[in-house]
Amino acid sequence: MAKGGRPRASSKGEDGLILESLWLLGRRDASSVHSPEYWGNFVPQVPHQIMRRFTQPGEVVVDLFCGLGTTLIECRRLGRHGIGVELVPRVAQRAQELVERAENPFGVRTLVLGGLDACDPSTVQRVQEEIQGLGFPSAHCLILHPPYHDIIPFSDDPRDLSRAPTLKAFLERFAQAVQNAVRLLAPGRHLALVIGDKYTRGEWVPLGFYCMQVCRQAGLRLKAINVKDIQGNERGKGKNTPLWESRALRYGFYIFKHEYVMVFDRPLKRRWLPPQGVPL
């Protein structure tokens, strides 16, 4: 372990570990019990890479937008304890079913907390109870894969970020989730944000960079912006048809083929922050 309790980085190319900022992951890993049935699922290779790089076996990983449990399935395969938060009860139930079917050779604990809002401060206490039950005061890694605003409506729950009426409302709610994440994360440890941009009304909306600034305003330190190729994994994210190619040429935009894996850490010492709205 490196100074400050952080795992040492592995050497370049060690057993498939990615150290470059361009992530060419190929098709979604369909091994184990990973399921593509849920719109907006991210590829398992992302939490796999993040956990191998920034955690050690036996540590705790928290995913505040759990979905069908992609992160938790990888936790079991890699020997990390995993706690997921999922707003929609039926999705949380399905996630727990899938996670419990995944191989667990290390005997770690994985749990999906259903019906909890990642943006509600009261969720922090519930998650902290689970972390402390594992014998730790804080999580060693946080993963955030929120909805990309209104691209995919995930539920009818008004608390759902995909139901935010405006971009401003989305970012304000997302800021609450990030604040919760910071409270859960041990100092010196890492948070990964998986996010993309959107295109609406003739304008590219840099949602990823807006969310990046939210994380920085919360006191997190930006360590990397990794660009992930989504070709072959475009369900609910990109458009790859002659119709969209024609529209791209006509209206002067480019078809999405990427999203971001942004990595932050929580500094050991509190950082000075400018007033809200002032870029760092």
- For residue 259, give the 3-state DSSP assignment: strand
First vs last C-alpha separation in the chain: 30
Contact in structure between 87 and 80 (CB atoms under 8 Å):
no
pLDDT in tens, 142-199: 999 999 898 888 788 899 999 999 999 999 999 999 999 999 999 999 999 999 998 8
Length of the chain: 280
CB 31 within 8 A of CB 237: no
Please check the confidence at residue 239 and state whether its pLDDT lies above 70: no
Q: What is the pLDDT of residue 30?
A: 64
Token couple for 137: 């005061």
| pLDDT value of position 234 | 57
Grouping H, G, I as helix, E, B as strand and the rest as coil, residue 141 is strand
- Rounded mean pLDDT, 99-103: 94
The confidence score (pLDDT) of residue 201 equals 83
Per the model's pLDDT, the better-predicted residue between 208 and 272 turns out to be: 208
Contact 173, 161 (CB under 8 A): yes
| Helix (H) or strand (E) run with residue 83 in it | strand 81-86
CATH class of 39-265: alpha beta
- Answer yes or no: is pLDDT of 257 > 90: no
- All residues at 6 or more sequence positions from 71 whose CB lies less than 8 Å from its CB, including other chains: 47, 61, 63, 82, 84, 143
- 246 falls in which pLDDT band (50, 70, 90)? confident
Mean pLDDT of the residues in the chain? 87
Q: Model confidence over 199-217: pLDDT tens digits? A: 888 888 999 999 999 999 9
